[in-house]
Structure 1
Amino acid sequence: MGASKTAAFTDTDIHLAKYAKALAHPARVAILRILLERRACICGDIVEELPLSQSTVSQHLKELKEAGLIQGDIDGKKVCYCIDARAWKQAQQMLHVLFSDYKPCDTNCC
């Protein structure tokens, strides 16, 4: 989305969309589940858990990192990934607010 288009949306909506985009692929959700379970993980360990190539897993890790949901520390030739606690909490709060804003209709709305 171009800069001129994003000006029409709130910062909160832009951040929430960034998180939602990162969560919009089942491989990324699976990677997040692995990281939540293990607390931290080397890319190669994640590859062993998923039916995906190393390059595909790396691309998904890159998307999650760009969204801010994970962080990675370089240890020699390996990168150890973990959940970014601050961003995770922010995404959790934003999603909660969005979903809790729903109020059911008294009648058939659609």
Structure 2
Amino acid sequence: MVREADQARDEAMEAQNLAESARDRAAAAESAATRSEQGRREMMERLRHLESIVCGAPRSATPSREEQGLWPTRRQRRQRGGSDYAPAAGTQAPAQESSQERRVQTHSGRNV
């Protein structure tokens, strides 16, 4: 009788441990599924963002200065014979002076 009670208690504890382990695994699987779904949503959001950039949709409600036509775009500067980063052709670029001239001007007002 005592032996049967001990065996029943051991089996009940084992079942309880198995159930707890199953609950832990189910919670971990649910958490992983939630993270996976969240990651999928973030990737879809990034994809939509990239598609909007590639397809030319506005990035914001306020157009950029280039989009407003206030500044020429890099493509426009290249088409006019300018560099990607230089002022557009037809605008006054600052006069270039040699590094030697800059050094002379920098030191001319000081006792070196």
State the TM bucket, normalised to the shorter chain.
under 0.3
TM-score, length-normalised on structure 2? 0.24
Instruction: Point out which structure has higher relative CO (alpha carbons under 8 A, 6+ apart).
Output: 1
Q: Which structure has more helix as a fraction of its residues?
A: 2
Task: Pick the structure with greater CA Rg.
Answer: 2
TM-score, length-normalised on structure 1? 0.24
